[in-house]
Amino acid sequence: MRYVNSIILLALSLIALNVQAVTVIVHPSNANALDKKSFQKIFLGKSKKFPDGSQVVPIDLTGGDARSKFLDSVIGKSESQLKAYWSKLIFTGKGQAPRSVDTEAEVVKLVSQNPNLIGYISDGAVDDTVKVAAKF
């Protein structure tokens, strides 16, 4: 019975891990309507402005589940594919990858202080200092 419980617990954990959403956050004053394609373009350096014309500055996470989920669900590239993508731009003088921070708390703090920033965090890290732009 103990084994059955363990297996059920493990299965539930895996399910929980799989359904862990990633949330894209912006400053509370940001009224732009943004979709998946917008996020792709912003985080791949193809868009440098929000639809309202204001400058956009993406903030990446250096690692973690939220980053994995974001790359998988939104960007559609693995870490290696993304690094190869940025290598082509960096070493041809066409761009630099977004600045990265280590913790979701840093993303929340930065985004809450600057209307030009956009970031992503796990669902549980969202608080009322930032606005949810989308969940994936």
Partner 1 sequence: MKKLQLCTIGLSLLYIPQSFADITFNGFASIRATQANSDGGGVPFGSFDEGEISFKGESLFALQASADLTEGLTATIQLYADGSNDFDVEARWAYISYELADNHSISAGRLVNPTFHQSEYQKVGYAHNFSRLPIAVYQDFPFSTVEGIALNSQFELVDGDYSLETKLLYGSWNGDIYLDGVGNVDLGLKDILSVNATLSGDWWKIFSGAFITEMKADSVDANSYIPAIQPGIQAALSLGATQSDVTNFTNAVAWDKKDGLYWFAGFGVDYEDWLIDFEYTNYGVQDSVDAPNENWYLAVGRRFDSYVVTIHTEESKQPDDYGFLNGINHPVLQATGKGLQGAISTSEFEGYGISLRYDFHPSAALKVDYSAGEHQLTNIGDYQIMSIGVDLVF
Q: Which of 3, 16, 93, 128 binds partner 1 (CB under 8 A)?
A: 93
Q: Please tell me whether residue 92 binds partner 1 under the rule CB under 8 A.
A: yes
> Does residue number 49 form part of the binding site for partner 1 (CB under 8 A)?
yes
Pick the stretch among 7-15, 18-26, 91-99, 102-110 that binds partner 1 (CB under 8 A).
91-99
State which residue, 76 or 124, has the beta carbon closest to partner 1: 76
Q: Which long-range contacts (CB under 8 A, 24 or more apart) does 39-43 make?
A: 39/74, 39/75, 39/118, 39/133, 39/134, 40/74, 40/75, 40/76, 42/118, 43/74, 43/75, 43/98
131 near partner 1, rule: CB under 8 A: no
